[in-house]
Amino acid sequence: MIGILSMPIMIFLAYRLLPESSPIARAKAFVENRKCLECHVYSPPRSLPSTDFDNVQHPEYNASAQDLETYFEAIRINIESEKRITQYSNELTQGEKLARDYHCFICHGLLGQGGQENKGSLKGYIPGWFGRDFDILINNGNPNAIREWITKGMYQDLINEPVLGTIAEHYFEKQEINMLRLSTLPEEEIQLLVKYVLMIHSYGAMDKAAVITYEEASKKSQ
């Protein structure tokens, strides 16, 4: 009887422990693992004499074309970010600027799409601003939870949970990278960052269409 009753709990925990990802994070990992930028940044590649460049064959790859297209779109708008942020003033561009200024994307991934390794954490990575992992951390989109993460580096209500809180606290103490505490930010910047994180959260794990929609939204006047 106990085994039967515990089965739903085990299934639920297994579901919760499944790793999460996004097209951008998956493509980024592939590009880094296959060292694609060694060729696509340098032309001709540094490792090859220029006389041999025409004879180089592209290696086979098993990455999703859709993931790579999404990643390339994200890279493109990332390169053009300064132009967009300077030319257009709205909550999206202002929030993106703050996320860049405070290096949020270094840990949470390009456009908050995850992918940064974090040894010792529950799933081994820093979550992006989407999905089940992030919903737990921010209490299903609670702005006050996001505010606490930004200003205190922790959401105390999560730690206070009877069972989940104990597990969360254990892994927070073990993980190599902890959330920064930006406790001295002006109130206006905190509000903009909270709104920006929620905007990214609303897009979910971005595909190519979502990245393009994000770009179009960032080019609207306030």
Residue 95 CA to residue 192 CA, distance in Å, equals: 5
- What are the pLDDT digits (tens) for 108-126? 999 999 978 999 998 899 9
Query: What average pLDDT score do residues 186-215 get?
Result: 97
Q: How far is CA 56 from the centre of its chain?
A: 34
Q: Which of 37-51, 66-80, 86-100, 179-193 has the lowest mean pLDDT?
A: 37-51
| pLDDT for the residue 8 | 47
Confidence of residue 78 (pLDDT cuts 50, 70, 90): very high
200: pLDDT strictly greater than 60: yes
Contacts within 8 Å (CB) and 24+ apart, 166-175: 167/122, 168/122, 171/120, 171/121, 171/122, 174/120, 174/121, 175/118, 175/119, 175/120, 175/121
Task: HSE, CB side, 13 Å, CA atoms: give it for residue 198.
Answer: 16
pLDDT in tens, 97-109: 999 999 999 999 9
- Inform me whether the pLDDT recorded for 13 exceeds 80: no
Mean pLDDT computed over every residue of the chain: 85
Q: Report the distance separating Cα 108 and Cα 114, nearest Å.
A: 5
Give the per-residue pLDDT at 63.
78
Whether the pLDDT of residue 2 is over 80: the answer is no
Q: Is the pLDDT of residue 10 over 60?
A: no
Q: Give the pTM.
A: 0.83
pLDDT at 55: 62
